[in-house]
Amino acid sequence: MTPEIPGIVSAAAVRATAGSIAAVQEPDGGIPWPEGHVDAWNHIECAMALTVGGLRDEARHAYDWLVRHQRPDGSWPIKVVRGEAVERGGESNHAAYIAVGVWHELLITGDTGFARRMWPHVRRALTFVVGLQTAEGDIIWKRDEDGAPSDQSLLTGCSSIHQALRCGILLAECMGDPQPDWELAADRLQHALVARPELFADKSRWSMDWYYPILGGAVRGAAAFERLAASWDTFVVPGLGVRCVADQPWVTGAESSELVMALEAIGDRERAVRIFAEIQYLRHDDGSYWTGYQFANDRHYPDERSAYTAAAVVLAADALAGATPAAGIFREVVPLSRPSLSS
């Protein structure tokens, strides 16, 4: 069932937005940024949105791209252009997100054959990720092309990895291949995210560092509401959406949609729906969405409509509408309502 938010977006409108993602998909299955490169994280987010929008063949084509481009260590190149790696390091949050994508696809389609085919790739990816965890529980941002780890951990990236590990743990159970090391890694990472902010590089001017610990499931309850209240006026521009960075008059559709999902995840539906409604001015007639709006200069900035923005809008619509079995994937790690796939 396609999401619909009465009075805001129709099911047909959501399908058109998914169609705008498919329209930029490359022949090999890659879903690029407007400037032409593909990275695994945004590519997977787009694949998830294609599935929500009913474009199952296009979504599977996107997952096939991941299979072809995964490297033996479990990572993907940071940037791929026309099938060729142009930035060869490997980011931990890029690798981790395949677990979210595969779990999301399984929840919606129930295709156990797909899950079994993808399981070795998920296992290899999360093994790469856990190999970058420090003694304090945070997970290093990336390995360089020569295999050397960076000296930084990123709060937003680690928050996304937390969700991915939780999805991977459930998928492992379904495969009959439990991964207790992932469970330990997820618990240690959550502690770092909640209690050890000094472990992470200071990216506090970015709104993602504000809401992502909630979106990734590490922070819940009163702590989540307190975190949102602390910087709400810094990042939220009434009537326009969410700033990308605190010190620029620039709101973006992707960050706004992700905040919608974070709000929905903690039960703050009223504000979630309001922000989702407010950002519809970014919608183009073809169903795509402008990446952002520079409100001091009254113009779209950058002058582009990005697939990843469309994807975030589609996923936010599903979170609000509860249309698919994966609609709550940012609220909780959604269990599979069927027996183990290994049985």
Q: How many CB atoms lie within 10 A of CB 89?
A: 19
pLDDT in tens, 15-70: 999 999 999 999 999 999 999 999 999 999 999 999 999 999 999 999 999 999 99
Average pLDDT of the segment spanning 6-22? 98
Rounded to an integer, the average pLDDT of 290-305 is: 98
For residue 53 the two structure tokens come to 């929008």
- In the block, tokens 């989702």 appear at 276
What letters, b where the CB count within 10 A reaches 16 and e where it falls short, cover 8-22? bbebebbbbbbbbbb
Find the length of the chain: 343
Fold category of 11-321 in CATH = Glycosyltransferase (1.50.10)
Tell me the average pLDDT across 182-208. Answer: 98
**Is 342's pLDDT higher than 60?**
no
pLDDT interval class at 332 (50, 70, 90): confident
Contacts of 232 (CB under 8 A, 6+ apart): none
The fraction of the chain above a pLDDT of 70, given in percent, is 97
Distance in angstroms (rounded) separating the CA atoms of residues 26 and 28: 5
- Rounded Cα distance between 13 and 290, Å, is 15
Cis peptide leading into 302, omega within 30 of 0?
A: yes
In angstroms, what CA-CA distances link 192 with 62, 154, 163?
33, 11, 14
Q: What are the φ and ψ backbone dihedral angles of 200, each rounded to 5 degrees?
A: -105, 145
Task: List pLDDT tens digits, range 142-181.
Answer: 999 999 999 999 999 999 999 999 999 999 999 999 999 9
Average pLDDT, the chain: 96
